[in-house]
Amino acid sequence: MSPSKLFFMRMRGMLRKEMLQIRRDPSSIALAVVLPMALLFLFGYGVSLDAENVPVAVVMDDNGPPARDLMARFLGSRYFHFRQAACVSEAQQWLAEGQVDGIVHLQDNLTARLAQGRPAQVQAIINGVDANRARLIQGYFQGLLQTWQSQRMMQGDAVARPMVGLAPRIWFNEAAVSRNFLVPGLITLIMTLIGILLTALVIAREWERGTMEALLATPLRRFDLLLAKVLPYFILGMAGMGLSLVVAVTLFGVPLRGSIVALFGLSAVFMLASQGFGLLISAAIRVQFVAAQISIMAGFLPAFFLSGLLFDLESTPLPIQMASHIVPARYFVAISHTLFMAGDLWPVLLPNTIILAGMATFFMVMAYRKISKRLE
Partner 1 sequence: MNSLHRLAALIVKEFTLILKDPKSRFVIIGPPLIQFFVFGYAAVYDVKHVRYAVLDQDRSALSRELLASLSSAESFERVAQLTSTTQIDRIIDHQKARLVIHVGPHFSRNLMNGEPALVQVIVDGRNSNVALIALGYIGDIVGGFNQALAGRMASGRSAPGLVSVERAWFNANLESQWFIVSGLGGLISMVVVMIITSLSVARERESGTFDQLLVAPFTPAEILIGKSLPGVLFGMLDALLFAAGAVLWFGVPFRGTIAALVASLACFIITIVGVGLLVSSLSRTMQQALLGSFVYIMPSVVLSGFTTPVANMPGWLQAGTLLNPLRHIVVALRRIFLQGADLPTVWPQIWPLLLMACVTLTTAAWLFRHRTQ
Partner 2 sequence: MSHTAANIVLKVDRLHKTFAGQGKPSVQALKGVSLAAAAGCVTGLIGADGAGKSTLIRIAAGLLRPTQGAVRVLGLDSTAAPLEIQRWVGYMPQRFGLYEDLNVRENMDLHADLQGVPDSERAVRYQRLLAMTGLGPFTRRMAGNLSGGMKQKLGLACALIKSPRMLLLDEPTVGVDPVSRRELWKIVYQLVDETGIAVLLSTAYLDEAERCHQVAVLHEGEKIAEGPPARFSKQMRGRVFIAEPPAVAKPRQVQARLAGSDGILDATIRSGRVRLVTDGRTTIADRLFKPWAIALQAADPCFEDAFMALIPQTQPHPVVPELPTPPAVSVDSGVVVQVASLSKRFGAFEAVKGLSFEVRRGEIFGLLGPNGAGKSTTFRMLCGLLSASGGDIAVAGRNLRRASSRARARLGYMAQKFSLYTQLSVAENLLFFGRAYGLSGRRLSRRMAWAYTEFDLGRRQEQPAGALPGGYKQRLAMAAALLHEPDILFLDEPTSGVDPLARREFWLRINGFAEQGVTVVVTTHFMEEAEYCDRLLIMSQGEQLALGTPADIRQLARKKGEQEPTIEDAFITLAQDSVDTAA
Footprint on residues 305-334 left by partner 1 (CB under 8 A): 305-306, 308, 310-312, 314-317, 320, 334
- Minimum CB separation from partner 1 for residue 364, in Å? 26
Which of 137, 131, 135, 18 lies closest to 80 in space, CA to CA? Answer: 137
Q: Which of residues 181-210 bind partner 2 (CB under 8 A)?
A: 209-210
215 binds, among partner 1, partner 2, none (CB under 5 to 8 A by kind): partner 2
- Three-class SS of residue 176? coil
- Minimum CB separation from partner 2 for residue 222, in Å? 10
Please identify, among the stretches 55-63, 85-93, 167-175, 216-224, the one whose residues bind partner 2 according to the rule CB under 8 A.
216-224
Which of 232, 256, 195, 248 lies closest to 39 in space, CA to CA? Answer: 248
Q: Which of residues 87-126 bind partner 1 (CB under 8 A)?
A: 95-96, 98, 101, 113-114, 116-126
374 binds, among partner 1, partner 2, none (CB under 5 to 8 A by kind): partner 2
Assess 233 for contact with partner 1 (CB under 8 A).
no
219 binds, among partner 1, partner 2, none (CB under 5 to 8 A by kind): partner 2
Please identify, among the stretches 10-18, 133-141, 224-232, 357-365, the one whose residues bind partner 1 according to the rule CB under 8 A.
133-141
Which C-beta is closer to partner 2: that of 76 or that of 210? 210
Please identify, among the stretches 35-43, 54-62, 211-219, 244-252, the one whose residues bind partner 2 according to the rule CB under 8 A.
211-219
CA distance linking residue 185 with residue 333, whole number of Å: 5
- Minimum CB separation from partner 2 for residue 205, in Å? 10
Residue type, 303: A
Interface pattern 55-74 for partner 1 (x via CB under 8 A):
---------------x----
Write the DSSP symbol of residue 129: S
Euclidean distance between the first and final Cα of the chain, in Å?
32
Assess 231 for contact with partner 2 (CB under 8 A).
no
CA distance linking residue 195 with residue 203, whole number of Å: 12
Q: Pick the binder of partner 1 from 285, 328, 337, 367 (CB under 8 A).
A: 337
150 Cβ neighbours under 8 A, 6+ residues apart: 165
Which of 196, 188, 175 lies closest to 310 in space, CA to CA? Answer: 188
CA distance linking residue 331 with residue 96, whole number of Å: 43
Contact assessment for residue 125 and residue 54, using Cβ atoms and an 8 Å cutoff: no
375 binds, among partner 1, partner 2, none (CB under 5 to 8 A by kind): partner 2
Q: Pick the binder of partner 1 from 25, 61, 108, 130 (CB under 8 A).
A: 130
Contact assessment for residue 47 and residue 40, using Cβ atoms and an 8 Å cutoff: no
- Minimum CB separation from partner 1 for residue 376, in Å? 23
CA distance linking residue 351 with residue 347, whole number of Å: 7
- Minimum CB separation from partner 1 for residue 342, in Å? 6
C-alpha dihedral (145, 150, 154, 155), degrees to nearest 10: 10
Assess 105 for contact with partner 2 (CB under 8 A).
no
Assess 30 for contact with partner 2 (CB under 8 A).
no
CA distance linking residue 37 with residue 110, whole number of Å: 53
CA distance linking residue 272 with residue 364, whole number of Å: 8
The vertex-264 CA angle with 309 and 22, nearest 5°, equals 90
Q: Pick the binder of partner 2 from 213, 246, 260, 320 (CB under 8 A).
A: 213
In the complex, which residues of this chain contact partner 2 (CB under 8 A)? Answer: 1, 6, 9-10, 12-14, 16-17, 20-21, 24-25, 209-211, 213-221, 373-376
